[in-house]
Amino acid sequence: MHIQRIAAFSLDGAGGNPAGVVVTDALPSADKMQKIAADVGYSETVFAAPDGEGYRVRYFAPQGEVAFCGHATIALGAALGAAEGAGTYPLALNDADITVEAFRSGSAWAARLSSPPTRQEPAPDSLKADVLALFGWTGQDLDSALEIKLVEGGARHLLVPLRTHGLLRDMSYDFDAGAALMQTHSLVTINLVYRQDVQTVYSRNAFAGHGVYEDPATGAAGAALAGYLRDSGRGETPFTIYQGQDMEMPSRLVVTPAAGKGARVVVEGETRLIA
């Protein structure tokens, strides 16, 4: 079975979030896909097989299946573009139907996905307290213009908006405690953000619940953030997310929310092949 390794949301030909990509005639069993994902060791590996006019797609992290993964979808788009040419490919996920569009960006392949519908809900006070304790922060460290929220754009994230960029840069947490918290609340990541202005966001995503300390670029979290900002009246225009700098894996995501409450979000990025 051929496994491609592609970094999605790369920045100027470097960095990005590595994903395993397997395009095959038929999807393997769930157990086999789980083993392959664990062996690859990236935050996610995406599996795709032809299905009608598009592809049936599933995503696996080292410790379990996830409903949707943005960076792996971008990597899949690049792989499909390289194999079949530029264009838009329908993808059937476990819980939603989406699309990914492959296109050339200079000498590399890039892709833009249209996310599942977005939604958000208040985070329980106990969860807020637990997440602040996990990272050693207090309420005074939060951005008062935003809220800690449970947000979704195909996967469930906890959004934690921070008051300064320095707090984001200095982020650390206990891996086992973070994994337990994320698993208890069915969180794919805890999305820590510093919103510099309406056009620029810096982000770090804790991912311990699925076996990885930190994700270098998180398209699903970007889509969920955009849905929250749009639906709460805090931003309806495209913006750029910079992520991974603190891991020496610089990444850039361009995020465009569609009009309408709960509507999909377009997330775009460049890719690079990993030797």
Whether 211 and 93 map to the same domain: the answer is no
66 found inside a domain: yes
Q: Return the beta strands (E) in the chain as ranges.
A: 4-10, 17-23, 45-51, 54-61, 64-66, 87-92, 97-105, 108-114, 119-122, 149-152, 156-161, 189-197, 200-207, 212-215, 239-243, 251-257, 265-273
Total number of domains constituting the chain: 2
Q: What is the pLDDT of residue 211?
A: 87
Q: What is the pLDDT of residue 68?
A: 96
Does 167 have pLDDT greater than 90?
Answer: yes
Whether 106 and 219 map to the same domain: the answer is no
Q: What is the pLDDT of residue 80?
A: 98
Does 275 have pLDDT greater than 90?
Answer: no
Does 25 have pLDDT greater than 90?
Answer: yes
Mean pLDDT for the stretch of residues 6-23: 97
Does 63 have pLDDT greater than 90?
Answer: no
Whether 253 and 201 map to the same domain: the answer is yes
Residues 233-265 pLDDT 10s: 999 999 999 999 999 999 999 999 999 999 999
- Whole-number percent of the chain with pLDDT over 90: 96
Cα(19)–Cα(161) distance, integer angstroms = 27
Task: List the domain range (segments joined by +) for residue 260.
Answer: 119-264
Q: What is the pLDDT of residue 3?
A: 97
Cα(188)–Cα(186) distance, integer angstroms = 7
273 found inside a domain: no
- Name the domain boundary from 98, 114, 130: 114
Residues 134-154 pLDDT 10s: 999 999 999 999 999 999 999
Does 17 have pLDDT greater than 90?
Answer: yes
CATH classification of the domain holding 87: 3.10.310.10
Q: What is the pLDDT of residue 266?
A: 98
Whether 130 and 259 map to the same domain: the answer is yes
- Name the domain boundary from 114, 134, 168: 114
Mean pLDDT for the stretch of residues 9-17: 96
138 found inside a domain: yes
- Whole-number percent of the chain with pLDDT over 70: 100
Q: What is the pLDDT of residue 1?
A: 85
Whether 129 and 49 map to the same domain: the answer is no
Whether 28 and 155 map to the same domain: the answer is no
pLDDT tier at 10, thresholds 50, 70, 90: very high
96 found inside a domain: yes
